[in-house]
Amino acid sequence: MTRRHTTLFALVLALLAAFALPAQGQAPVTVKMATLVPENSSWFLVLKEVANDWSRISNGKVRVLLYPGGRQGDDPDVVRKMNLGTLNAGVLTSAGLGEVERGVYALSIPMAFADYEEVYAVLEKMRPKLEAQFEEKGFIVLNWADGGWNHWFTKSAAATPDEMKKLKLFSWAGDMKTTEAYKKMGFDPRPAPSTELITGLQTGLFESFLAPPQVALITRYYEQTKYMTDMKVQILMGATIIKKETWEKIPADLRPKLMASARTAGDKLQRSIRDSYQRDVDAMKKAGLVVVPVDARTREMWRRSVEVGYPIIRGGVMPADAFDDALRYRDEYRRQKGAAKK
Q: What is the pLDDT of residues 265-281, one digit of tens each?
A: 999 988 888 999 999 99
pTM of the predicted model, to two decimals?
Answer: 0.87
Nearest residue to 77 via CA among 219, 193, 197, 209: 193
Phi/psi at 66 (5° precision): -100, 135
Average confidence (pLDDT) over 57-62:
95
Eight-class DSSP state of 314: B
Predicted confidence band of residue 175 (pLDDT cuts 50, 70, 90):
confident
Identify the pLDDT of residue 13. 31
- Closest of 103, 289, 318, 271 to residue 211, by C-alpha: 289
More confident residue, 250 or 47: 250
Full set of structural domains in the chain with CATH: 28-314 (3.40.190.170)
Residue 195 has pLDDT above 90, yes or no: no
Mean pLDDT of the chain: 89
Cα–Cα distance, 223 to 220 (Å, whole number): 6
Q: Flag whether pLDDT at 225 surpasses 50.
A: yes
Choice between 236 and 342, residue whose per-residue pLDDT is larger: 236
* Residue 309 burial (C-beta neighbours within 10 Å; 0-12, 13-18, 19+): buried
* 101-145: pLDDT as tens digits: 999 999 999 999 999 999 999 999 999 999 999 999 999 999 999
Pairing of strands 89-93, 139-154: unpaired
